[in-house]
Every structure is written in C-alpha cells, then in structure tokens.
Structure 1
Amino acid sequence: MRANSFSTKSKSFYYYLLMVYFLPCFACFSQSESSSTFTNPILQDGADPYAYYHTDNYYYYMATRGNRIDLWKTKSLTTLAEASPITVWKAPASGKNSCCIWAPEIHFIDGKWYIYYTASDKDNEGDHSRYVFVLENASPDPTLGEWIDKGKINTKYSGIDGSLFSYKGKRYFLYSPYIGNHSDIAIAEMKNPWTLKGEETILASPEFDWEKTDDRSILEGPMFLEGPKDKVFIVYSGGACWDDNYSLGMLVASKKGNFLKASTWKKSPEPVLSMSEENQVYGPGHHGFAKSPDGTETWVIYHAKDKPGLGCAQRSSRMQVINWDIKGMPVFGKPVNINDPIKKPSGE
C-alpha cells in the first residue's frame, strides 16, 4: 500500500511539473509559429487586387469595387483585413466614367499620386465604351488631399486594365484592348502620366486553349515584372473571370530589347499559375506584384475562388512568394490552399 501510495504521489508531482514548466513552453512554440505565418485570403472581397509599396513603408492596396475607388493603407499585407479602407473617389452620376469601375491601381510619379482605373458610361455601357481613366493627387499621403480627374487615356482602342512601369528612363503603358472578338495585350510609351505618345504595339493575342472560353478569347490584366538576371516579364490573365480555368500567362523579353517591338517578347505556351483542384483554388488570376518590406522577396497578389462554378463571384485576394530558378525565370508554383500556413514576407 505504501509503494502504491508513493507511486500515486509521484505521478501527481510529475503532472504538476508538466503543467507548471512545460505547457507554457508549448504555448510559446505555438504562438511563435502562428506569428510567423499567415493563411489566405488576405481579403475576402478582393477581386482584381493591386498593392504598391511606398517609401513611407506603407502598402497601398486596391481592389475592384464597381461604383467607387477604395484605398487601404497598411504596414503589412498579411493583416490587410484589419485595415479600414477609405473611399477616395466615387463614380459620377453620368458620363463616360460613370459605371463599372474596375481594376484600379495606384502609382507615385514625379512627386504626385496617380490612380488608373477602368470605367464605362452607364447610359451606353459595353466594351465599346470601356476605357482607362486617370486620377491625380498632389498630397504626400494618398488617403488625404483631393483627387483630380485627368480624364481618359488616349488609347487607340477601347479596353481595360491599364498599368504602367518605368524602365531605363522611359515610362510605358500596358492595357488590354478590345480588338474584334478578342482582347489582346498592348504597349505604348507615355508622354506624361495621363497621355500616350507614338504608336501602340500589340504584343500578344489569344492563341492557346487556356486563353479562350466559349464566350470570348481574352488576355487581360498585364503587369510588368523585372527578373533578377537578364530578363523582364509581362504577366497577364488568360481566359475569363467567370471560368474556373482563368490563369496567369507570361511574356518574356531581354532587358536589352526594344519593349515596343512585338518580336522582342516571347509568350510562354503554358500558364504560370493555374487552377488547382487538389488545393481547391479556382480561377486564379488578375494580379499585382509587391516586394517584401525588406525588399528581398517578390510576392504575387491575385484573386481566386474556393469552389468551382461560381462565375465571377466570391473572388478573394491571396498572396504567395515567387521563387526564381537558375536562369532568372519566375517560379509561381501552385496556388496555395486557404488552410495551409504560409511564411510571412521577409522583414514583416
């Protein structure tokens, strides 16, 4: 009896030590792991996401809102949902930019802020009246100050998804023009942040099956990406937002090439980011790129859906890091399941 009694006391003392000394350590490990990772989505209602990292160490984030332009300001994209968006502009009651406000993106150029967005005339709505427009703000903080309407970009065609980039002293404009029964990728040089100069060049048209749907063949959402070696890229969306096979495609060029010549660019035959039934990610597309806070990583931000057959509904914003192979080509990998933890961006 005495031996059994001693054994019982020993067990009790052992459990006491476990509770007092070891369980808090397990909690620390769990908390540490949780604070170093995040899960998608970063924003539940987040179609056509775009993020710009400024010199003030803030990310400025945007997504399609339909009748207005909202702007998020956050130190961390992984905690974006905790930030409160500010409506910086609302569509007018009538006119050429009165409806269908899509795919805004923000840039800081020569000391001023510019927002590029797609819009149409609600009294004459359709692809024929859809163009890219520009807003300007001289405030150092884009959530403050006044946004001035600079009007419509003087593109040759109606079209959507305007984007721009600067490279070696020149500024370029990309968009997706409507040409016949399909949408292409076009480029032009810019005279100033709201005006194109010279001729537009069609860089790519739909040609592969994954770039086509029953309704329309579409290339859209072009975005410039500079590689770590001798190549640059234009990553675009192929297909349509209502199709589960909506994917990211890519054009490749040499950094020494003439970006305004179509022959400079070579299209990859396969998508670089596409649907994953295994990971329950459907229609990944319409993206942006952002550096980690310390500048060492490149992240792709894109929208996708959790279930098939949702059309263009329930598109949430996700993000994942891009790796680079030995040739300096981007490796996107598979779109990550929303239940899988992802290591937070470096420097966050």
Structure 2
Amino acid sequence: MSSPLFSRRSALAGALAAGAAVALPGSASAAPNYSNPLARQRADPHITRHSDGFYYFTATVPEYDRIVLRRSRTLRGLATAPEAVLWRRHGTGEMGGHIWAPEIHHIDGRWYVYFAAGRAEDFFDIRMYVLENDDPDPFAGTWSEKGRIVTAWDTFSLDASTFTLGGDRYLVWAQQEPGIDNNSNLYIARMSSPWSIEGSPARLSSPTLEWETRGYAVNEAPAVIQRNGRVFMTYSASATDSNYCLGLLTARTDGDLLDPASWTKSPEPVFTSNDATSQYGPGHNSFTVAEDGRTDVLVYHARQYEEIEGDPLFDPNRHTRVQAFGWTPEGTPELGFPVADSP
C-alpha cells in the first residue's frame, strides 16, 4: 500500500513507537504517551471513564473463571490499581464454563456488567449474560444476576456491548446464525431494558473478506464511537493469533441503525499486527478518552510475539494496551499501528 492514508499511519506509528509526542491527525494537541503494556495477561479490555472522574477497567483473565475490576483517576494508574473480584463462575450448569470479555456500563443510575459464559459441562457453549449493581460504587453493594440475553437463536453468542443514540439504547454483539457457515456475525437490536432486546436483530456484517477469514471466519467484539455525525463500529476478525485484526463499519447518526444498508464496511482492516513494533494480533478493543477530556484513546490487547504453541486461546499473554489516536480530514478514525513496548 502506498496511499496517503497509509503514509500518515506509518509516520504516526513510527513516531509513537519512538516515544515521541506527536500531533494527532485532526487535532492541534500532542498525543499523550502511555506505558505499554498497561496490564499484562488481561485480554478483551474494556475501559470507561465515568462521571465520578474514575476510569473503570475490566478484562478477561487467563483462567477464564471470574470478573475483575480496577479503577484509577488516570489511565496510567490502572496499571497498579488494586484489582477486585466482582463475580466468580458457577460450579455447575450455566455460567460455569469459560468467562469471556466483560464490559462495565453505567445505565439509569445502576452498574451493569455484560459478559459471555459457557456451561460447566461444555466450557465453549457460550451465551451472553448480565450482572447488575444498584450501589453508586461498583466495588460495593451486591452484583445480582439478571440472566441470559435472549436473542433470535439459542446459539454461540458473545461480546455484548451497548450504546445510545437519539434516545434509543442499542445492543451490538457477535453470534452464530443457523444456516450460515461461519463462526460469528455482527448483530444490532434495540434494547427494552439493560438486559433484554426487542424486535428482530439486524445482521450488520459477516466475515467474507480474506482478512476476516484467516484461521476462522470471525466477526466479533463490536465497539462503538460516535463522532462527526457518524457511528463508527470497530470489530475483530479472524483467529485470535497474529491474524487477529480490527475492521470498521460506518453509519450516519441520522440513519436507521437497524437497517444493514445504512452501514458500510471498510474493505481493508484498520488495525493489524506490526513487525516493526513487535505487536501481534491486536484486537478486541474499546474506546475511552484521555485525561485531558479531548483526546480519543484506543484500548486493545496484543501479544509481543507472532508464533504460538497450541491453541491461542490458552496462551495467556494477550496484554492490555492503550494509545491515543486521531481523525482523518474526512472525519474517520485513524488508528495507526499498535505501538511498541515502552522502554
């Protein structure tokens, strides 16, 4: 590739890898630098900045057996913040298998954790579930189980995330759909409560492109950011090894988000493995904002090596990483490349 966009991304990545403070695309400010990895052996990271001024951070642990939470006044502080266990998997039955990809959201005065869980009898029989806590402090109070998020099919489903637009709350997630020969597609539906959807879900994307089907045919882990009159949805594609990467869907904020025709898919991945910075399999991202309240920050996991022995799911070294990003003159996110480890 030799496009102007590729050249800008390369220059930005090189400067960030060298530890320089750079002007982000579409911004007059210098990009804040963060020490990476932010948290070792924490995959599928989700960081949100709440109105109380704290950053809240949860992620998948390599034992796949519990949901953890940290908080800090700064992103940097999350690296050493104490970690609490909010919930542990059941000993039998539902929610007794693999526990994956928690996200924490504050909705209508209550805290909610969305996560995926298998059965004790089949760790990979994955479905989506919700926890609720009505205490203002998510480290206090009681986390109650609101149960499974019921969708159109009782099939493998995971990576629930939620956002609002125009007074409506939406759920986005990944699921296997009967009759489609792939691992997972991306779906959206309106929510009738923080733990349930209404109406028929709309399939927004299936893994059909070459870079979405390496190892496995996967679209998963949707994450939403709204800027410049558009809704941008990143997602992860392919196997969870060095082929893992981010794709991008885009819709107008004044369009019908439940109409698949409202969305366009970028033909190329927007964030991939990088030999120059020794970062492999970047993906399962979330978005937050820097301490200045203005600079957008990409949160994701990646490994520091390309070759993996055995099943990548059982390699524990997917580390949480954060880096600032900017916007193209056309108003789309310019994520660059995964930055190198900090000295």
CA distance in 1 between counterparts of 2:195 and 2:40 reads 32
For residues 36-51 of structure 1, the aligned pairs below 5 Å read 37-51=33-47
SS at match of 1:79: helix
Q: Which position in structure 2 is the counterpart of 1:345?
A: none
Q: Which position in structure 2 is the counterpart of 1:237?
A: 236
CA distance in 1 between counterparts of 2:225 and 2:284 reads 14
Q: Which position in structure 2 is the counterpart of 1:327?
A: 330
CA distance in 2 between counterparts of 1:115 and 1:60 reads 12
Of 52, 58, 61 in structure 2, the residue corresponding to residue 62 of structure 1 is: 58
C-alpha contact (below 8 Å) 1:212/1:218 kept by paired residues: yes
Name the aligned partner's letter for residue 150 of structure 2.
Answer: N
C-alpha contact (below 8 Å) 1:42/1:79 kept by paired residues: no
- Bigger relative CO (Cα 8 Å, ≥ 6 apart): 2
TM-align CA RMSD = 1.2
CA distance in 2 between counterparts of 1:37 and 1:226 reads 23
C-alpha contact (below 8 Å) 2:287/2:296 kept by paired residues: yes
Q: Which position in structure 1 is the counterpart of 2:299?
A: 301
- Aligned-pair CA distance for 1:52: 1.1
Q: Which position in structure 2 is the counterpart of 1:141?
A: 137
Q: Which position in structure 2 is the counterpart of 1:315?
A: 318
Unaligned runs of 5+ in 1: 1-35, 341-348
C-alpha contact (below 8 Å) 2:219/2:237 kept by paired residues: yes
Q: Which position in structure 1 is the counterpart of 2:198?
A: 197
- Aligned-pair CA distance for 1:37: 4.1
Q: Which position in structure 2 is the counterpart of 1:53?
A: 49
User: What does the per-residue CA deviation read over 1:297-333, in whole Å, with 9 as the maximum and x for residues that have no partner?
Assistant: 1101000011111234210011111201121100000
Q: Which position in structure 2 is the counterpart of 1:92?
A: 90
C-alpha contact (below 8 Å) 1:239/1:246 kept by paired residues: yes
Q: Which position in structure 1 is the counterpart of 2:217?
A: 217
C-alpha contact (below 8 Å) 1:230/1:328 kept by paired residues: no
Name the aligned partner's letter for residue 217 of structure 2.
Answer: S
SS at match of 1:98: strand
CA distance in 2 between counterparts of 1:116 and 1:298 reads 23
Please report the TM-score for the alignment, with normalisation by the length of structure 1. Answer: 0.84
SS at match of 1:135: strand
Larger radius of gyration: 1
CA distance in 2 between counterparts of 1:76 and 1:240 reads 32
Please report the TM-score for the alignment, with normalisation by the length of structure 2. Answer: 0.85
SS at match of 1:97: strand
User: What does the per-residue CA deviation read over 1:42-67, in whole Å, with 9 as the maximum and x for residues that have no partner?
Assistant: 00111100001101100110010211
CA distance in 2 between counterparts of 1:97 and 1:124 reads 10
Name the aligned partner's letter for residue 333 of structure 1.
Answer: G
- Aligned-pair CA distance for 1:88: 0.7
- Aligned-pair CA distance for 1:295: 1.9
- Aligned-pair CA distance for 1:269: 0.7
CA distance in 1 between counterparts of 2:197 and 2:77 reads 37
C-alpha contact (below 8 Å) 1:206/1:219 kept by paired residues: yes
* Residue 131 of structure 1 pairs with residue 132 of structure 2: no
CA distance in 1 between counterparts of 2:78 and 2:231 reads 29
CA distance in 2 between counterparts of 1:210 and 1:82 reads 36
* Residue 186 of structure 1 pairs with residue 184 of structure 2: no
* Residue 226 of structure 1 pairs with residue 222 of structure 2: no
CA distance in 1 between counterparts of 2:217 and 2:326 reads 29
- Aligned-pair CA distance for 1:181: 2.8
C-alpha contact (below 8 Å) 1:57/1:293 kept by paired residues: no
CA distance in 1 between counterparts of 2:291 and 2:323 reads 14
Q: Which position in structure 2 is the counterpart of 1:28?
A: none
Name the aligned partner's letter for residue 205 of structure 1.
Answer: S
C-alpha contact (below 8 Å) 1:202/1:262 kept by paired residues: yes
Unaligned runs of 5+ in 2: 1-31
User: What does the per-residue CA deviation read over 1:74-102, in whole Å, with 9 as the maximum and x for residues that have no partner?
Assistant: 11112212111000111111121111100
User: What does the per-residue CA deviation read over 1:204-232, in whole Å, with 9 as the maximum and x for residues that have no partner?
Assistant: 00011111123x200110011112x1221
CA distance in 2 between counterparts of 1:53 and 1:298 reads 12
CA distance in 2 between counterparts of 1:63 and 1:208 reads 28
How many residues end up aligned between the 2 structures?
300
User: What does the per-residue CA deviation read over 1:142-184, in whole Å, with 9 as the maximum and x for residues that have no partner?
Assistant: 0111000000001123311010001110000011001343210
- Aligned-pair CA distance for 1:190: 0.3
- Aligned-pair CA distance for 1:73: 1.1
- Aligned-pair CA distance for 1:294: 3.3
Q: Which position in structure 1 is the counterpart of 2:160?
A: 162
CA distance in 2 between counterparts of 1:119 and 1:153 reads 11
Q: Greater helix percent: which structure?
A: 1
Name the aligned partner's letter for residue 208 of structure 1.
Answer: L
User: What is the aligned-residue identity percentage?
Assistant: 36
For residues 8-23 of structure 1, the aligned pairs below 5 Å read none
- Aligned-pair CA distance for 1:188: 0.5
